[in-house]
Amino acid sequence: MKKFLTLVLATACYVSMSAQAPDDWYHQDPADGYNGVSVDKTYNTLLKGRASQTVVVAIIDSGMDIEHEDLADNMWVNPGEIPDNGIDDDNNGYIDDIHGWNFIGGRDGSHVGGDNLEVTRQYALYRGKFEKVSNPATLNKKDKEMYEKFLVYKEEVENARKRATSRIARMDSIGTELNLSIDAAAASIGSDTITADGVNGIEAGDDPKLAMAKRVLPQFLGEPMTVTEVKGALKEALDGDKAYWNSQLEYHYNPDLNTREIVGDDYSNSRELDYGNNDVEGPDPLHGTHVGGIVGAVRDNDIGVQGVANNVKLMSIRTVPDGDERDKDVAAAIRYAVDNGASVINMSFGKGFSHDKDVVDEAVKYAKKKDVLLVHAAGNSAQDNDTTGNFPNDKYDKRDGWWIFKKDKKAKNWIEVGALNFEKGENLSATFSNYGAENVDIFAPGVQIYNTLPNNEYRKLQGTSMASPVVAGVAAVLRSYFPSLTAEQVKSIIMESSIKQSDVVKKPGTDEMVPFSELSVSGGIINMYNAVQMALQTKGKKKIKGNKKA
């Protein structure tokens, strides 16, 4: 219902929901009819009876419900730390970091919930310098470039605030109009119980209330509902939409918001690491809990769902607020994960601007040096990442002046993941997924992914945020069963073993038909069975204690 209302307010139309896929479709084999990655097939054949070692996967995200019934047994526990004694027992710089760390929390246990977007921060950063400029021609060359960028930021922020204000003002009248349309539909049907078929059979004529009912109600009436039930769902959805648009004003596009007062760090010191707290759940761990479950929900416990990886520990590193993550926090989170034993890091977040890319690049290079694989979601804007900014990314860039970047080289320990639909044919790629023949590496299931939510709940979510942990899970399996493989080898195997697609598909966000092979570097879909087959034939390059190479 919430999705519908947002679309009504924006466009006065609604796109019908797609067909429903089985809850476990992404674990199935492609031969079963869906674009799954052959998880179950692999465990039942190639990996059956084969030894593995535990692998730590860091989930850099919004936080995780560490007590979830299907996650608790697979949460990473810091072996060198004594819980709740207020001492940094293992001398890693973090007190009582039992399951990970929270880089967007204060020492007093407080949290950053909502935060602004990076574009808003950039606008706020240069507002004082450029807001009152009356004659840009008097600026020097460097300042002119900065000023032009500032105007772009300003326009986006101010337009977003106007749009949110307008939507909030319209909300109450929309609610009234929809309530009247529900009453009109019930009267026309002649029943207090409303069904999709009943609404579809109404002859609306010139009645705007009935026309709205026919346009709106069938799209969310999955089962018969009474007028009271429909209106209750309407109110709940309206309240959710109000909260969303209020957050746009209060957090995302609020240039006067400074959440670092909560964190209490020296934000000007990009390489500061000793800040935050040990609460790895935070106020809203929904996103991170879902992501973590995709990687490593406990398998074969007859509860809930099964993770992709079967011998894994999940390290929760809270870094992503309701808003854009900050480069400093991302860099600190990567370093924390590396220093505390993670072999794979999942990063299901991203933004269109970068404030301090250098510090993130340094952390990525640090992870490469320590042989840690980074898996990152490509984004949900249906954009070409080859031509549009998306951060963080695998390109090592050098700053030239303020925002101008010069391409250097890419991180070889980084996998960028686009989202795959469960349907075959022209709808193969998810309509929302970012893509890029140069900057997106591979596609993985990201539509209708059923997995863990806080408080022992489960639900389907979708996004490249869900596709990335599928890849991270496969990477964890490779590192678990084939520990001599390096991070670069794991990436190479995942890319080379992907199932290449010859289909012509709809380019995400459009009806334009393009070869699926042009949407990513590999041109393929990740497949765990193929990856394990290739790993079985690959000689590892990693030095193992007791052996030169294994």
| DSSP per-residue string spanning 150-183 | HHHHHHHHHHHHHHHHHHHHHHHHHHHHHHHHHH
DSSP 522: S
- With vertex at residue 139, the alpha carbon angle to CA 137 and CA 143, rounded to the nearest 5 degrees, is 130
Q: What value does the mean pLDDT take over residues 242-263?
A: 95
When the pLDDT of each residue in the chain is averaged and rounded to a whole number, the result is 92
Q: What value does the mean pLDDT take over residues 315-340?
A: 98
The predicted-structure confidence for 240-250, as pLDDT tens digits, reads as follows 888 999 999 99
Instruction: Give the separation between CA 378 and CA 464, rounded to whole angstroms.
Output: 6
Q: Which two tokens stand for residue 18?
A: 């797609």
Q: What value does the mean pLDDT take over residues 138-156?
A: 95
Q: Which of 16-20, 391-395, 401-405, 511-515 bottoms out in mean pLDDT, i.e. has the lowest? A: 401-405
Question: Residue 233 above 90 pLDDT?
Answer: no
Question: Per the omega criterion (within 30 degrees of 0), is the bond before 218 cis?
Answer: no
Question: Residue 61 above 50 pLDDT?
Answer: yes
Work out the number of other CB atoms within 10 angstroms of the CB of residue 129: 12
Q: What value does the mean pLDDT take over residues 36-49?
A: 98
Instruction: Give the separation between CA 176 and CA 431, rounded to whole angstroms.
Output: 32
Strands 225-226, 395-400: parallel, antiparallel or unpaired by DSSP? unpaired
Instruction: Give the separation between CA 31 and CA 173, rounded to whole angstroms.
Output: 50
Question: Residue 294 above 60 pLDDT?
Answer: yes
Provide the pLDDT for residue 409.
Answer: 83
Q: Which two tokens stand for residue 367?
A: 């992870």
- Burial grade of 381 (CB within 10 A; 0-12, 13-18, 19 or more): middle
Provide the pLDDT for residue 548.
Answer: 39
pLDDT confidence tier of residue 231, bands split at 50, 70 and 90: confident
The predicted-structure confidence for 168-207, as pLDDT tens digits, reads as follows 988 878 888 989 999 999 999 999 998 888 989 999 899 9
Question: Residue 23 above 50 pLDDT?
Answer: yes
Provide the pLDDT for residue 453.
Answer: 98
Q: What value does the mean pLDDT take over residues 4-14?
A: 34
Torsion sign, CA atoms 243, 249, 255, 256: negative
- The domain locations on the chain are 29-111+267-536, 118-252
- Local structure of 543: helix, strand or coil: coil
Q: What value does the mean pLDDT take over residues 125-141?
A: 93
Cβ distance 340 to 80 under 8 Å? no
What 3 state SS string does 274-323 have? CCCECCCCCCCCHHHHHHHHHHHCCCCCCCCCCCCCCCEEEEEEECCCEC
**What is the number of H-type helices and E-type strands within the chain?**
14, 17
Q: What value does the mean pLDDT take over residues 132-139?
A: 93
Q: What value does the mean pLDDT take over residues 489-518?
A: 96
CATH superfamily entry for domain 29-111+267-536 = Peptidase S8/S53 domain (3.40.50.200)
Nearest CA-CA partner of 441 in 419, 473, 420, 416: 416
Dihedral Cα 376, 377, 381, 383, nearest 10 deg: 60
Strands 504-506, 513-515: parallel, antiparallel or unpaired by DSSP? antiparallel
Cβ distance 220 to 16 under 8 Å? no
Question: Residue 123 above 60 pLDDT?
Answer: yes
Question: Residue 449 above 60 pLDDT?
Answer: yes
Q: Which of 48-57, 180-189, 252-261, 321-330 bottoms out in mean pLDDT, i.e. has the lowest? A: 180-189
Provide the pLDDT for residue 545.
Answer: 59
Burial 462-484 (b: 16+ CB within 10 A, else e): bbbbbbbbbbbbbbbbbbbbbeb
pTM of the entire predicted model? 0.89
DSSP 500: E
Nearest CA-CA partner of 78 in 102, 100, 54: 100
- Burial grade of 393 (CB within 10 A; 0-12, 13-18, 19 or more): buried
Question: Residue 5 above 60 pLDDT?
Answer: no
Phi, psi of 5 (to 5 degrees): -60, -40
Question: Residue 429 above 70 pLDDT?
Answer: yes
98 versus 18: which is more confidently predicted? Answer: 98
Question: Residue 347 above 90 pLDDT?
Answer: yes
Q: Which two tokens stand for residue 220?
A: 């969310």
